[in-house]
Amino acid sequence: MAHTRLALLCFLAVGLLATHVNGEIVIRKSGSTWVRIDDDGTIRIKGSSVGRYESNGTIRKRGSSVGSIDSDGTIRRSGSSIGKIQSDGTVRKRGSSIGRIESGGTIRKRGSSWGSASNCCGSFGSKKAIAAVLVFFADDYFDR
């Protein structure tokens, strides 16, 4: 009986952890919620759907493909490499580091705190999803 209860508790604990890891990612900027990335990859800015980060790395804005992130982290716009997200969270533009997505969720640009992300950042997959938002949806992160 004790083994059955222990097994059930372990099963429930693993289920709760899996739910937390796969939950939506919330990106905050200037202290306010700015973006949510839903479990299915839908990107919402201030509640409205503006795009999608697909499981194959394609990034869509209002339905049209605007770029992609390769499995190795190479960021592409119109097929051409424009940067990279490294597994440690370093964001590079044309080879130079411009920022970092830290494992704890802090998003940095040129060493300064730019924002934060929750329910993420330990995995390379979540860092790629955040990089997709920073590169293709944040006017003041990658292109400035």
Which tens digits make up the pLDDT trace of 37-91? 999 999 999 999 999 999 999 999 999 999 999 999 999 999 999 999 999 999 9
Tell me the percentage of the chain whose pLDDT exceeds 70. 84
Q: Decide if pLDDT at 12 tops 50.
A: no
The answer to pTM > 0.85 is: no
Helix (H) or strand (E) holding 10: helix 2-21
Q: Decide if pLDDT at 21 tops 80.
A: no
Which distant-in-sequence residues (6+ apart) come within 8 Å of 141 by Cβ?
99, 109, 114, 134, 135
